[in-house]
Amino acid sequence: MSSSQQDKEQALALAGVFQAAALVHQLSNKGMVSQDSFETSIGSIIETSPDSTLAVYGGSTEGMALGIRTLQSFVNKEPDTSAHILRYAMSILYLEKRLRKDPQMLSAIGQRLEQVKIQSHHFSTTHENVIANIASLYQDTISTFSFRIQVQGEPNILRQNSNAEKVRALLFAGIRSAILWHQLGGRRWKLLLGRKKISRALDEISRH
């Protein structure tokens, strides 16, 4: 793989993290999300044996527009970048690191994800039963770490069980992308010191 191709694949996976974070922010404040982005992010959880990085996100960058735009605004240090979205994204990367050091939990997640995949074939990827199953998986595994992501938003929205389940499912989607980013060579210091490289890669992705 050429270095420019690797940069693009890393940027796309990182955009997956930022898309999940942006959707959590949208949902917790407005009670609704961009459906196309939501379907792409949730679909990435079930895509466990992809042919390519792009295949994780449905084979097209269309459903990743929110994540690409959000990550671009972060690397370009645009003033309207939400501090909440950034905090969620950094927290997701931290939890992925914790998960990577727990092979037993990774194995348990892998087994449960097979059940989720079967269920998603019977229903649809974003059916409430599938979302509830992913949310339950997140609660039984990632939520048991001492570090937990505190989601801020409208209490009335977050109190609704269906919204709370969507938030957990989206955080899980973010961690799936964070694992992919790390597998592709992504590292936190690259995020902080390699902003120009990420920005160039995102520009190239957006042109295709």
The kind and range of the H/E element at 12 are helix 3-30
In tens, the pLDDT along 92-143 reads 999 999 999 999 999 999 999 999 999 999 999 999 999 999 999 999 999 9
pTM as predicted: 0.97
Instruction: Give the pLDDT score at 163.
Output: 98
Average pLDDT, the chain: 95
Range of the domain at 39: 3-207
Q: Does the pLDDT of residue 44 top 80, yes or no? A: yes
Instruction: Give the pLDDT score at 73.
Output: 95
Instruction: Give the pLDDT score at 136.
Output: 98
Instruction: Give the pLDDT score at 81.
Output: 81
Instruction: Give the pLDDT score at 3.
Output: 86
CATH number of the domain where residue 178 is located: 1.10.3890.10
Q: How many CB atoms lie within 10 A of CB 132?
A: 17
Instruction: Give the pLDDT score at 124.
Output: 92
Instruction: Give the pLDDT score at 59.
Output: 95
In tens, the pLDDT along 149-181 reads 999 999 999 999 999 999 999 999 999 999 999
Q: Does the pLDDT of residue 1 top 80, yes or no? A: no
- Number of folded domains in the chain? 1
- Percent of the chain topping pLDDT 70: 100
Q: DSSP letter string over 85-154?
A: HHHHHHHHHHHHHHHHT-HHHHHHHHHHHHHHHHHHHHS-TT-HHHHHHHHHHHHHTGGGSS------S-
In tens, the pLDDT along 173-188 reads 999 999 999 999 999 9
